[in-house]
Structure 1
Amino acid sequence: MRISFTSTNKEKDFKKLYEEYYAPFCLYAKRFIDDSSTREDIVSDVFASLWDKEDSFELNKTTALGYLKTCVRNSCLNYLKHLEYEWSYAELCQKRDPIYATAPDSIYTLEELYKMLYETLNKLPESYRVVFTKNFFEGKTHAEIAKEMNLSVKSIDRYKQRTMDFLRAELKEYLPLIAWVLLHRNAF
């Protein structure tokens, strides 16, 4: 098939077809899509596609209008299908657990990392939490903590070691991130 409005005046004939039917096809597209700029884009794309394919098939004015109508309808329906897919995907994302719940290599905010750490620390006995907090957040030495808590330095070492073992088990995928945050906390 070949579009041959007339081979000598094909640009002129195409321009005439475009000028005559662009607005009616935009109105036709309104049956499917409310947004005027989207309708205009779809109709423009259909006309551009017709121009690009002008060497691959032949149409007279009547069949060109049928072809354009079918293309506009299908493009509108494809747009709506894609829009529905986007809405479904957005809805699914809202219902889904946060990405870090299933993907340990995702990006975390500092707040999220601290939250994970504190939630895990809250599972420990209070004395273990106190030792960890004083050592990592307050920067106190084992001797200073032992003096404040009236415990031996060996007890502080043991509490810290058990806390670290627990954190390794509970936060195994996240521990390198949390350790980095703890080491660089003053930089933020």
Structure 2
Amino acid sequence: MGAYSTYTDQELTALLKSGDSHALTEIHSRYYAVLYAHAYKRFPYREEVLDILQELFTYMWDHRMQLVFTTTLPGYLYAAVRNRVLNLHRSQKVRGEYAVSLQEFSEQGESITDNLIREKELLQMVEQEIAKLPTQMRIIFDLSRNEALSHNEIAKKLNLSPQTVRTQVRNALRILRVKLGANIFLIFL
């Protein structure tokens, strides 16, 4: 194994491509420390840097036949480490943004959904109580609140006196206040 330390990078690369595992071992021992320092400077997390280097050397062995060096062996190794660090940064940034987005959605989505359900239930309760009003009172109340007609307009439309309309609306509001409670009643004001 000592003879491998005398080989040049080009000779080690050729031996690696031919399937010589000792060549990979020599490349590893020759460049591991400087690659570790290079990666750690850019990404100061020991475990992740160790994973990056492990993955790089595993990749080199698994793809030894397809490896194409357009530069020197150290140039290839530095570029490979740099790219893996950048990919890790990018994936952590995406994961972080996703986690924040998910947290915001969880917080907002829960309250929005909860509010929508409560609103729907409340409106259903109000509609049920309005439906229980006497017929003429319900019609007058509906014209007043849902169609936004004035008391005089309702009186003309239903051939009633404006005072009767006013009394019917007042009575409807009083009944709903009692049935629904003061807080819910504020919807109609």
Task: Normalising by structure 2, report the TM-score.
Answer: 0.49
- Structure 1 or 2: larger helix share? 2
Which fold has the larger relative contact order, with Cα–Cα distance below 8 Å and residues 6 or more apart in sequence? 1
Structure whose alpha-carbon radius of gyration is higher: 2
Task: Normalising by structure 1, report the TM-score.
Answer: 0.49
